[in-house]
Structure 1
Amino acid sequence: MISQTLVFNGITFALAAALLVGACGDATSAAQAVKPKMPAVTESIVLGMGCFWGAEKRMAALPGVVDVESGYANGEVDGTYEAVLAQEKLRQWGRSAKRNHAEVVKVTFDPAKTDLEKVLIQFWESHDPTQGDRQGNDVGSNYRSAVYTQNDVQQALALKTRDVYQKALQAAGRGAITTEIAPLQKYYSAEEYHQDYLVKNPNGYCGLGGTGVKYPQAGVAATTPMPAAAAQAPRLDAAKLDFQRQLIVFEAEDCAYCRKFKAEVLDRWQSPVAIARTLNPQPPVGWTLEKALFATPTIVLFEKGKEVSRYTGYNGDQERFWKWLGFHLLTPAQQKIAFEQGTEYPGTGSHLDEKRPGTFVDPITGAALFRSDTKFDSGTGWPSFFNPLPGALTEHVDVSHGMRRVEVRSASSGIHLGHVFDDGPPPTGKRYCINGNVLKFVPDQVKQAGK
């Protein structure tokens, strides 16, 4: 076995090249991925969420799901990729009225470990069901949102969960759900190169972002109606805010969810984005909201005085809030790492050669992750540390790509950072192999002479 040498403070460490390949990323061939053994009893449902590549990955992430297959459903043409693309062009040109297939995923799950309602909740939250014949940048009837059911029980639950989620969307100022809910008539498995596409192509296109609106928990409302007298409270002064990028939390005095958000998020705020609170439902003078506010708390992100996004309601799901904010703060490349367990190519990430005294922090929350004095040159091409700050990370078993590794995430935001291995230097013997592009470095302030 070929080995590579690590040098740390004059001490030499041998690191197997095989470990380097799996250091932070997805270098293992998809053909080596081991699929779980199929349980004796399973249930399946067919879901359309736009491009099936991203849909497959999102649904496969749900615990209890044992298989996700890409396919085409409920159309009147051949069930092939070429036929679907050709039919959509004919429809756009007005040369055919035949119904096209939707790109779908057939989700098979173990009813002993999860249930259909959880599968449908994952479906609603993982895409935008209000867009009609499109999903994000993908436009066409083949990208329609759809639930294709196999029995009356599935049909009834799909309709019920749609109605629940519609209320949550309405409270957030979103539009009507356009999802087609109907019995499954035809289904064709997609070509092999479409199956497990993002496993085979880790840097491939995903295209799903969701609405940022949480499906309401059973028996729990996450919002308080906006009080009629709220307009009497003073409006925020625009001169005291950040015109380029500003978060505003619209609250109410008697709002338990506002207090919960303050205690769990605002009181610990370290994010680089400025944030302010107000009891008045109107924005600062000269600033604009897209729509009137329906409930509190509503957290609105303004850029150059205009609303660009809002997050309505809070029920303790901090990770979901930070993910919503992260989609607006991070670049697409950073989002792929943070939210899709992606990996930057070795030697290409930020901070690889950063040696100044300082702290590496979460780029969304600003929470401290590593001190620079725990950083060392591992020779892997990724920033490496032998010790995180207390409570900064969480660890998760990762069995993707035929390997068993330990993934590390930011405890404050839940974003994917990298992996930890037992081949690091003293005193811990650990190597936290981290994607530099999801780190922000804050140098220590240099003390002035005589201070």
Structure 2
Amino acid sequence: MKKSTILFTILIMVVTITAFTTMEETVSSNPAHPNSTVHAQSDSIVLGMGCFWGAEKRMSELPGVLDAESGYAGGNNARAGYEDVLNFERRLRMGRASGRNHAEVVKVTFDPQQLSLENVLAKFWESHDPTQGDRQGNDIGSNYRSAIYYHDDAQKTLALATRDAYQQALTAAGYGQITTEILPLKNYITAEEYHQDYLVKNPDGYCGLGGVNVAYPATERTKHTTAATSTQSTQPIDSKDLNFAQQLVVFESENCEFCAQFKHDILDHWRSDMPVVTTMNPNPPVDWVLDKSLFASPTMVLFKEGQEVARYTGYNGEKEKFWQWLGFQLLTPEQQKIAFEQGTERAFTGSNLDEKRPGKFVDPITGATLFLSKTKFNSGTGWPSFIEPVEGSITYHADNSDYMQRTEVRSASSGIHLGHVFNDGPPPTHKRYCINGNILKFVPD
């Protein structure tokens, strides 16, 4: 073989290997997400929206997003971790440090052929409150600032344009000036693995509420995607339809598995006297006042005379904990002592002792039926007594307090203490459910 032919063959092999290697590199895995594949034609932008757990979840919902990665960016430190960022923020607020902290951010990698950058930014603006400065909801500090960190002039230009467009929409809705910083990306650091896909891996996490319910002004490029992916727009609840004296409002959000669980566990079985209503709008009912902004869903807020008096944030199946919270809003101090401290009223002093009308005795918080009046009898002990409860309405617990061995009974729906059961009742059960009358509510037939 001629020398020139050999050299040409070697050159072809080198070019082929180089091209193959380049192709391999353009379809690579994200080091923080080993199973995620980034397309050769992908683009990315880094966004700060407060806590990156909710930001990652919201941005990953967009069709065309290939990866949403939690991280830190925009600070002076080239290296940082979660504790570093928090500790530096504490020192800044105490005046013991100077400089610029990182913000919690999400790096959004997307396919421009499926999703435009303007659509990404529209989702960004709609998914948080960009007017709050160094905070987002209850998360306060410069590490929770709203931010867009771009990597070229085209991204900068579009970021500024979308900011101005969204400012007009916010102003028309009565909101203040946008505080979002728009700067070149610097010192981006991938967050620790346990922060990645946090709301998927942690069942006690919270869903982000999705901004201030002001839609990004649709353009020809965003109409289709915005209609399909933006937060559901609803009008604030009309307070005329609510109970002014006291009203429970459940603030929910789209695609929130914790909201669905709360509905399944609590709302689908609601029998409480407390009026309740749900809404997808994070704003209070018209002319009513929230004590502070909402930052997670579901959030249950109790209003009295149009003012927030208590709230319960988040839910992950802790039914008794929620009912205890509501019980502290509904019960008198005497009832609270019985319900939550295993207290006992003095004999012959409680209510419902002489109640003989046909009806039912219910849990004062949940409204669940506990006993029927036809099972009530006069035991002479000074407490309302029953031969049996409604099936499945109570639970039994060993009680060795006061140097005695007794069986405590609690409400199955709320977990509150009711009294004790003894084996000295009349037939046919020979049981005596000795119940505190003040913790029962009677509902006549």
Could you tell me the TM-score, scaled by structure 2's length?
A: 0.51
**Closer/same/farther in 2, CA of residues 385 and 219 from structure 1, 3 Å limit:** same
Deviation per residue, 1:142-186 (Å, 9 max, x gap) = xxxxxxxxxxxxxxxxx99xx9xxxxxx9995999xxxxxxxxxx
Asked if 2 retains the 8 angstrom alpha-carbon contact of 1:230 and 1:252, the reply is no
Asked if 2 retains the 8 angstrom alpha-carbon contact of 1:171 and 1:312, the reply is no
**2 CA distance for matches of 1:299 and 1:171?**
19
1:263 matched to which residue of 2?
264
Secondary structure of 2:371's partner?
strand
Give the Å deviation of 1:443. Answer: 0.2
Pair 1:328 & 2:329 matched: yes
2:204 matched to which residue of 1?
221
Higher helix share: 2
Give the Å deviation of 1:261. Answer: 0.1
Instruction: Write out the 4+ residue segments of structure 1 that deviate beyond 6 Å after TM superposition.
Output: none
Asked if 2 retains the 8 angstrom alpha-carbon contact of 1:358 and 1:372, the reply is yes
Asked if 2 retains the 8 angstrom alpha-carbon contact of 1:224 and 1:295, the reply is yes
Deviation per residue, 1:74-105 (Å, 9 max, x gap) = xxxxxxxxxxxxxxxxxxxxxxxxxxxxxxxx
Deviation per residue, 1:258-313 (Å, 9 max, x gap) = 00000010000000000000000001111000000001000000000100000000
**1 CA distance for matches of 2:423 and 2:401?**
19
1:351 matched to which residue of 2?
352
Pair 1:443 & 2:436 matched: no
Alignment of 1:206-245 (within 5 A): 219-228=202-211, 230-231=213-214, 232-245=233-246
**2 CA distance for matches of 1:410 and 1:266?**
18
Q: Report the count of equivalent residues.
A: 240
Give the Å deviation of 1:248. Answer: 0.3
Partner amino acid, structure 1, of 2:443? V
**1 CA distance for matches of 2:411 and 2:264?**
20
**2 CA distance for matches of 1:352 and 1:314?**
37
Partner amino acid, structure 2, of 1:266? L
Pair 1:384 & 2:409 matched: no
**2 CA distance for matches of 1:282 and 1:316?**
25
**2 CA distance for matches of 1:431 and 1:171?**
55
Secondary structure of 2:277's partner?
strand
Asked if 1 retains the 8 angstrom alpha-carbon contact of 2:212 and 2:283, the reply is no
Structure 1 residue runs without a partner (length 5+): 1-158, 164-169, 177-215, 445-451
Secondary structure of 1:225's partner?
coil
1:315 matched to which residue of 2?
316
Give the Å deviation of 1:222. Answer: 3.6
**2 CA distance for matches of 1:224 and 1:402?**
47
1:285 matched to which residue of 2?
286
**2 CA distance for matches of 1:339 and 1:230?**
39
Give the Å deviation of 1:255. Answer: 0.4
Asked if 2 retains the 8 angstrom alpha-carbon contact of 1:172 and 1:311, the reply is no
**2 CA distance for matches of 1:437 and 1:171?**
44
Alignment of 1:82-97 (within 5 A): none
**1 CA distance for matches of 2:136 and 2:369?**
34
% same residue: 59
Asked if 1 retains the 8 angstrom alpha-carbon contact of 2:210 and 2:253, the reply is yes
Deviation per residue, 1:162-215 (Å, 9 max, x gap) = x9xxxxxx9995999xxxxxxxxxxxxxxxxxxxxxxxxxxxxxxxxxxxxxxx
Alignment of 1:11-90 (within 5 A): none
Give the Å deviation of 1:422. Answer: 0.4
Asked if 1 retains the 8 angstrom alpha-carbon contact of 2:370 and 2:390, the reply is yes
Partner amino acid, structure 2, of 1:411? A
**2 CA distance for matches of 1:236 and 1:432?**
44
Structure 2 residue runs without a partner (length 5+): 1-85, 91-134, 142-198, 215-232
Give the Å deviation of 1:235. Answer: 1.1
2:274 matched to which residue of 1?
273
**1 CA distance for matches of 2:263 and 2:324?**
18
Secondary structure of 1:339's partner?
helix
**Closer/same/farther in 2, CA of residues 293 and 353 from structure 1, 3 Å limit:** same
**1 CA distance for matches of 2:299 and 2:396?**
31
1:428 matched to which residue of 2?
429
Give the Å deviation of 1:223. Answer: 1.6
Secondary structure of 1:355's partner?
coil
Asked if 2 retains the 8 angstrom alpha-carbon contact of 1:352 and 1:436, the reply is yes
Pair 1:411 & 2:394 matched: no
Secondary structure of 1:322's partner?
helix
Asked if 2 retains the 8 angstrom alpha-carbon contact of 1:370 and 1:387, the reply is yes
**1 CA distance for matches of 2:271 and 2:399?**
29
Partner amino acid, structure 2, of 1:225? G
Deviation per residue, 1:305-341 (Å, 9 max, x gap) = 1000000000000000000000010000000000000
Structure with the larger RCO, 1 or 2 (CA within 8 Å, 6+ apart): 1
Secondary structure of 2:408's partner?
strand
Q: Which has the larger radius of gyration?
A: 2
**2 CA distance for matches of 1:417 and 1:222?**
33
Asked if 2 retains the 8 angstrom alpha-carbon contact of 1:172 and 1:312, the reply is no
